[in-house]
Amino acid sequence: MNALNHSRPLALFGLLLANLCWSGNALVARAFAGEIAPFTLSFWRWCLALALLLPFVAMPLWRHRVAVRTAGWRLLVLGGLGIAGYNSLLYSAAQTTAAINISLVNTCLPLVTFIGAGLLLNEWPARRAWWGMLVAVMGLAVLISQGQWSRLASLSFNQGDLIMLLAVVDWALYSLLLRRWSAYLQPIPPLALLGVFILLGVPLILPFYLYELSQGAHLAINAANLSAVAYTAVFASLLAYLAWNHGIRVIGAAKAALTNYLMPVFTALLGWVLLNESLQLYHWLGAAMIFGGLLLATRPGKTL
């Protein structure tokens, strides 16, 4: 069982699964930007996730209450960053910026995490990992530009992009601290740990949700809105977070962050499957470069 828990292929598969789920989350955020206010979606997403998770984690949390008390304030910080912060910021950014800008700003995540891993964890990635990140960035540029580099020069940025940049820093810090404080977190089972994060994160979202309510932003009860909340709660919350946290524990924050470059690839694939959108040559070329960069960056070994 221990070998399974620390299996790199299993951890990498989990990271791919997390990014696939979050690609769907980005689609939901854009599709419902005018229907569901950002903190309203974030609040009800995590409330539903907590309701689904609590019956399975209540007893484990009680049995591991000493470990929870030992982790203490660290759990509150991680709950604030990973639960309350990142997704609320992403949903807020989606209100005022284009999808292509969100993808472009997200390219900063591996770089921020790489530098943070060196400064906070003393885990400076090998040169091969930096080369792999460069190849993945070039692949992402192919996707964003649709193979026409002039499109990159025509991009404009606004307030939503700055909010997305804050979200990137937030998520990088969450991933790094998850790794840095692993000695305090490992005694707590993964499901119970996620339960603690949600329990501490939801109250931090509540004041912002109540403010949106006071401004008239109510959640309309209909099939579409309920489906959006359900998807974000089950797939983008429970499944994705469990997979991501496990990947961080096994392969580290810096290398795990590189897999975020796959989100535009998965978004294109979801558009092809769900929306009957065509896949162009630049999709395949960009995807091949991103996968190649990830393989180069995450291959075991310390030297080129």
Domain total in the chain: 1
| 76 assigned to some structural domain | yes
pLDDT recorded at residue 4: 46
User: Cα dihedral sign for 44, 216, 203, 94?
Assistant: positive
Query: pLDDT class for 303, splitting at 50, 70, 90?
Result: very low
Q: Is 149 part of any domain?
A: yes
Q: Please check whether residue 223 is in contact with residue 106, taking contact to mean a CB–CB distance below 8 angstroms.
A: no
263, 256, 238, 247: which is closest to 24 by C-alpha? 263
Instruction: List the Cα angle 169/171/173 in 5-degree steps.
Output: 70
Integer Cα distance of 175 and 138 in angstroms? 24
- Is residue 104 one of the residues assigned to a domain? yes
Distances (CA, A) of 8 to 80, 129, 185, 256, 299: 28, 16, 20, 11, 10
> For the segment 130-151, what is each residue's pLDDT rounded down to a tens digit?
777 677 667 667 666 666 666 6
**Residue 24 pLDDT more than 50?**
yes
Q: Is the pLDDT of residue 50 over 70?
A: yes
Pair 26, 263: CB distance under 8 Å: yes
State the pLDDT at residue 3. 47
| pLDDT above 90 coverage of the chain, percent | 33
Measured in residues, the chain has a length of: 304
2 falls within a domain: no
Range of the structural domain that residue 183 is part of? 10-298
- Looking at the domain assignment, is residue 289 inside a domain? yes
- CA torsion through residues 222, 225, 231, 233, sign: negative
Per-residue pLDDT, 94: 75
| Distance from C-alpha of 215 to C-alpha of 292, rounded to nearest angstrom | 48
**Which has more confidence, 54 or 262?**
54
Is residue 53 assigned to a domain?
A: yes
292 vs 196, residue with greater confidence: 196
**Mean pLDDT for the chain overall:** 80
- The percent of residues above 70 in pLDDT, for the chain, comes to 74
pLDDT confidence of residue 248: 86
Question: In this structure, is residue 304 part of a structural domain?
Answer: no
